[in-house]
Amino acid sequence: MLEVDAFVAGYGRIPVLHGVSLKAGAGQMITLVGANGAGKSTLLKAIAGVLPARSGRVILEGEDVTSVPVHRRVGKGVVLVPEGRMLFGAMSVDENLTLGAYLRTGGEARREAEAERERVFELFPILARRRTQPAGTLSGGEQQMLAVGRALMSDPKVLLLDEPSLGLAPKVISEIFAVLDRLREGGLTMVLVEQDARLALKHADYGYVMRTGSVALEGSSADLLANDDVRLIYLGAWHGRE
Amino acid sequence: METSELLQLAIAGLKNGSIYALLALGFTIVYAATNVINFAQGEFYMLGGMFAVLAFTQFELPLLVSVPLAVLVVAGIGMLFETLAIRPRKDAEPMALIIITVGGSLVFASLARHAFGSDALPLPEFTAGPSFLFAGAAIERQTVWIWGIVLVTVAGLTFLYSKTRLGRAMRACMQNREAARLMGIDTARVVMISFGLAAALGAVAGVAVTPLTSTRFDIGAGIAVKGFAAAILGGLGSPLAAVAGGLLLGLIEQAVIPFSSALKDVVALGVLLAVLFLRPQGLFRRARREKM
pLDDT tens sequence across A39-81: 899 999 999 999 988 899 999 999 999 999 999 999 999 999 9
Is residue B234 within 8 Å of B24, Cβ to Cβ? yes
| Cβ-based contacts under 8 A for chains A and B | 63
pLDDT at A11: 84
Question: How would residue B148 be classed by pLDDT, with cut points 50, 70 and 90?
Answer: very high
Distance from CA of A85 to the nearest CA of B (A): 9
Residue B17 falls in which region: left (phi positive, over 0), alpha (psi -120 to 50) or beta: alpha
Say whether pLDDT at B287 is over 60. no
- A205 alpha-carbon distance from chain centroid: 14
Residues of A in contact with B183 (CB under 8 A): 71, 74, 99-100, 102-103, 150, 154
- Using the beta-carbon criterion (under 8 Å), do A71 and B186 form an inter-chain contact? yes
pLDDT at A102: 96
Q: Is A74 on the interface with B (CB under 8 A)?
A: yes
C-alpha span between A50 and A58 (Å, rounded) = 13
Distance from CA of B185 to the nearest CA of A (A): 6
- Using the beta-carbon criterion (under 8 Å), do B179 and A100 form an inter-chain contact? no
C-alpha span between A106 and A224 (Å, rounded) = 46
Query: Which whole number is the average pLDDT over A184-213?
Result: 93
Residues of B in contact with A70 (CB under 8 A): 181-182
Q: Where are the domains of chain B?
A: 3-278
Q: Is A154 on the interface with B (CB under 8 A)?
A: yes
pLDDT digits (tens, 9 = 90+) for B178-201: 999 999 999 999 999 999 999 999
Nearest to B175 among A72, A88, A103 (CB): A88
Is residue A6 within 8 Å of A215, Cβ to Cβ? no
pLDDT digits (tens, 9 = 90+) for A99-111: 999 999 988 999 9
CATH code: domain B3-278 is 1.10.3470
Contacts of B47 (CB under 8 A, 6+ apart): B70, B73, B74, B77, B108, B112, B202, B203, B206
Q: Which CATH class is domain A1-77+158-170+183-242?
A: alpha beta
- Using the beta-carbon criterion (under 8 Å), do B178 and A82 form an inter-chain contact? yes
Is residue A208 within 8 Å of A24, Cβ to Cβ? no
Is residue A135 within 8 Å of A89, Cβ to Cβ? yes
C-alpha span between A24 and B14 (Å, rounded) = 63
Residues of A in contact with B172 (CB under 8 A): 88, 91, 99
For every residue of A96-145, DSSP letters joined together read HHHHHTTT--SHHHHHHHHHHHHHHHHHSHHHHHTTTSBGGGS-HHHHHH
Is residue B246 within 8 Å of B18, Cβ to Cβ? yes
Q: Compare all CA atoms of chain A with the CA of B289 and give the residue at the minimum distance.
A: A90
> 10 Å Cβ neighbour count for A201?
26
Residues of B in contact with A99 (CB under 8 A): 168-169, 172, 180, 183, 185
Query: Which whole number is the average pLDDT over A134-156?
Result: 96
> Average pLDDT of chain B?
92
Say whether pLDDT at B292 is over 70. no
- Can you tell me the ipTM of this complex? 0.91
Q: What is the dihedral of CA B150, B228, B96, B217, to 10 degrees?
A: 70
- Using the beta-carbon criterion (under 8 Å), do A48 and B179 form an inter-chain contact? no
Q: Where are the domains of chain A?
A: 1-77+158-170+183-242, 89-155
- Using the beta-carbon criterion (under 8 Å), do B168 and A99 form an inter-chain contact? yes
